[in-house]
Structure 1
Amino acid sequence: MIFLKRTKKFVVGLISGAALFTGVSAMTLHDVKPVSAATTSSSAINLTAKAALAIDADTGQVIYEKNADAVLPIASMTKLISIDVILDQIKSGKLTWDQKVTVDDDSYKISQDTSLSNVPLSKTKKYTVKELYDASLIYSANGAIMALAHQVSGSQKDFVTLMRAKVKSWGINDAKIDNVSGLTNSDISDADRYPGSSAADENELTAKDMGLIAKNLLKKYPEVLKTTSIKRQAFDKGTSDETLMENWNWMLPGLAKAYTELPVDGLKTGTSDKAGECFTGTVKKDGHRIITVVLGSSHKSETDVSRFTDTQKIMSYVFDSFDVKTIKAGTTFKNADSLPVFHGKELTTKVALKSDQKVWLKKGETVKSVVSATVAKNTSLVKKTGLEAPIKANSDIGTLKLTGKDNALTYVDGSKALSVTGTNEKTIEKANIFVIMWRAIANFFKNLF
């Protein structure tokens, strides 16, 4: 790692103090001049980051991207994956928040390294799962997350196997995960590295991968924000080892790189020689939450806060240049507004959007001018050439695929369209026997001649 974390604590104090006198923490959304172009392309914003991303936290719609498919080191942002696995264990009852954890030898050794982010763990004490969880997220404590991993799996290697399976279950196939903390492999023992990895290896993912990981974490465990938004907290309070944990996310309200119009409440920073400065951030503004990722932001000195400046530029760009449009339930789309019916009173049925859907569009654009759709039948309801009547109103009769002009609707999971349920607002009635017979006779003669 480039920087001593002990020195960083001093720098945090300096920058935070400067913020109080210079008004940095009161900067607004418009302190970085918004770009005039409204596009998801990388040319829209001047960033130091090698790769960057902004997505809607609920839908995963990509709003901005720069080299978002490039596989790069992620450093301690790795802990978001580790924490997801830990929360799975708690949800399943295999861990409890107040469960006591004994520190293993390797986790203890790492925790004593003051050149890394750590809280000093003791071999003679036990710590609760909650204490170690908080230290991992607030202070990026490497020994703490390793101790949790050992508690779950008995070894770092076996916990990494869980992490690899986790990201694979989300459709992430380009992940390179070799340890639980995000440290460079050279910082940990050979036994704690995943078999086959080298001392120079680091965990690597794409910006889109990190966006998807954060999206899934927030969807499943939104309570994680209660911890990631904590600015400072004491670890092992009231003991000789008490450590004040200052959150490395300086964009939290009241900290050095906070912006009054961007109430950031998460998620995780990461720093290493190879990775540079990284940050997965999230903010909820005007009722809409977005997730941002920067990988490889400038890392020239202790006071370089480029990852936060880059993040602020992306967040400002999104909220300044885009509007959230709601496509209401009941909306129909040209060329995708009907499906054929087999033996129905009517030969076709209207297809409409079953539920409200939100999309981010450039300011000034409308759903009608940007969004188009195709429709496919629900095959479980099909007989021969169409939907088999009768069918109750508001049934799931098909799938509408919404696409955007100039790839306006792309998603962090790789989808190039928003797939949503199409429904029939009225009952599809079956034709009586006489109508069915008449149609059969008419078709017979039609085909005959």
Structure 2
Amino acid sequence: MIPLLLLSMFTQPAMTANAETDLGLTVDAAILIDAESGKILYEQNAETSLGIASMTKMMTEYLLLDAIKEGTITWEQEYRVTDYTYKLSQNRALSNVPLRADGSYTIRELYDAMAIYSANAATVAIAETIAGTETEFIKLMNKKAKELGLEGYKFVNSTGLNNADLLGMHPSGTGAEDENVMPAKSVAKLAYHLLKDHPEVLETSNIPKKVFREGTDDAIKMENWNFMLPGLVYEYAGVDGLKTGTTDFAGHCFTGTAVRNDKRLIAVVMKAVDSEGVGSYKARFDATAKLFDYGFGQFSNQEIIPANYVFKGQKTIPVTKGKEDKVNIAVKDSLSFMIKSNEKDLYVPKLVLDKKEIEADVKEGTVVGKLVLERSEGSDYGFIDGSELTLDVVTTDSVERASGFSLFFQGIGNFFGNLWGSVTGFIGGLF
């Protein structure tokens, strides 16, 4: 007979990613970062690839805004509706603005529909405009993802829909049931670079409501699916973006951004559920609000290391063949990032020199090593772009090379110094 205790080990339900955390989040994954520095403030299961649904559209937005900046696409450019986008747009069970089979639409109209209303056919129309076909557009998505250093991603379409919803017209080379996936960390990294490279995205993502083709027979009211925007049901002060996502596979997801007192945060939640384990719009916005409350309430930007910082234990480094036998060293730049107000003293600077000594001629500003910042206790999540808590250590003076005559006598001094050291060492060894 199996002992009762041992049996219970097999029969108890496994812990899931939805388990309560110290922030009370019931999500499959979450991450919170400082939008300015990319410092990660919190993460939960952030490196597991999960469904991203319409958060995919952030990549489509990125590529469109790239094309606009490069001048290969213009806002006034007209798109002629294809059979694919026409048929897809007629499915109102999906998020869509219906397109006329014989219609043409400006890129600005399609972009607004995508960014505000998450319109799927409009998104495919943008992909076709940029790359000719959605199949070719996926190649651009993968290329950009690689450039940005994203990991764990898989793109099978431009929208984030399940391929099964694409009426058998899904991109070639992808499966009929495929769906886009990415870890929360990569989603946050995509949003981080989108805001850095194209901050104008917020000019559209912050619009709560707009009418598509206002004043025409095709006019349709579009309400932003980001219900945390001003005037909407889960309004949160400072929220102005960025992208929601919902499918059966991905659950209720959201990449949100908010700014308060010049401090901008980016939060990602994936497959959010309520206390009963049921996914909903409210669940994802509640989880996001908890992340924002945590970030705005407990973190502030602080200078950890000032510029020209000097290590008390080593203010100089030896110099050989120089007019001086040492040179002053200091940290070149300052280091500031967002941390909890009471954790500044947990970060301890450590000096790591490239060499124990350097040879003259030494120029001011020569890099001789690194300041490495180590945390004495607890975890530091690092930065979203993978950068480290390091600063260059440089020389703060110049040391000219000694003349040949001086080097001759230095050599003699070193010879007899080494000889005397060997003799005293030998004699000492006798006793």
The TM-score range, normalised by the shorter chain, is 0.7 to 0.9
Question: 2:287 matched to 1:287?
Answer: no
The residue type paired with residue 397 of structure 2 is T
Q: Comparing both chains, which one has the higher relative contact order based on Cα–Cα distances under 8 Å and sequence gaps of 6 or more?
A: 1
TM-score normalised to structure 2 length: 0.84
Distance 1:301 1:362, change over 3 A: closer
The residue type paired with residue 402 of structure 2 is N
Listed as ranges, the gaps of 5+ residues in structure 1 are 1-40
Report the Cα offset of residue 190 of structure 1. 3.8
User: Is the CA contact (8 Å cut-off) linking 2:244 and 2:254 kept in structure 1?
Assistant: yes
The residue type paired with residue 279 of structure 1 is F
Aligned counterpart, 2:349: 372
SS at match of 2:271: strand
Which is further off, 93-102 or 46-55? 93-102
Report the Cα offset of residue 333 of structure 1. 4.7
Question: 2:71 matched to 1:113?
Answer: no
2:62 to 84, 98, 101: 84
Distance 1:53 1:395 in 2: 38
Distance 1:333 1:190 in 2: 65
Question: 2:22 matched to 1:52?
Answer: no
Alpha-carbon displacement from aligned partner over 1:371-416 (angstroms, at most 9, x marks no partner): 3234454xxxx9x952653314x5655543333333325122345x
Aligned counterpart, 1:250: 227
SS at match of 1:270: strand
User: Is the CA contact (8 Å cut-off) linking 1:339 and 1:387 kept in structure 2?
Assistant: no
Question: 2:410 matched to 1:432?
Answer: no
Alpha-carbon displacement from aligned partner over 1:326-371 (angstroms, at most 9, x marks no partner): 23322245678655545444444444343333222223222x4323
Alpha-carbon displacement from aligned partner over 1:148-205 (angstroms, at most 9, x marks no partner): 110111111110111011111222231111111000110114443351x322221100
Alignment of 1:31-46 (within 5 A): 43-46=21-24
SS at match of 2:290: helix
Listed as ranges, the gaps of 5+ residues in structure 2 are 1-18, 423-431
Distance 1:42 1:337 in 2: 48
User: Is the CA contact (8 Å cut-off) linking 1:336 and 1:373 kept in structure 2?
Assistant: no
Alignment of 1:144-223 (within 5 A): 144-195=122-173, 197-223=174-200
Distance 1:107 1:86 in 2: 17
Report the Cα offset of residue 126 of structure 1. 1.8
SS at match of 1:240: coil
Question: 2:95 matched to 1:125?
Answer: no
CA RMSD of aligned residues (A): 2.6
1:386 to 342, 358, 368: 358
User: Is the CA contact (8 Å cut-off) linking 2:327 and 2:399 kept in structure 1?
Assistant: no
Structure number with bigger Rg:
2
Distance 1:421 1:100, change over 3 A: farther
Distance 2:75 2:367 in 1: 41
Distance 1:374 1:427, change over 3 A: closer
Identity of paired residues, percent? 39
1:410 to 370, 382, 385: 382
2:300 to 302, 308, 323: 323
User: Is the CA contact (8 Å cut-off) linking 1:42 and 1:65 kept in structure 2?
Assistant: no
Count of residue pairs brought into register by the alignment: 397
The residue type paired with residue 273 of structure 2 is S
User: Is the CA contact (8 Å cut-off) linking 2:327 and 2:397 kept in structure 1?
Assistant: no
The residue type paired with residue 399 of structure 2 is E
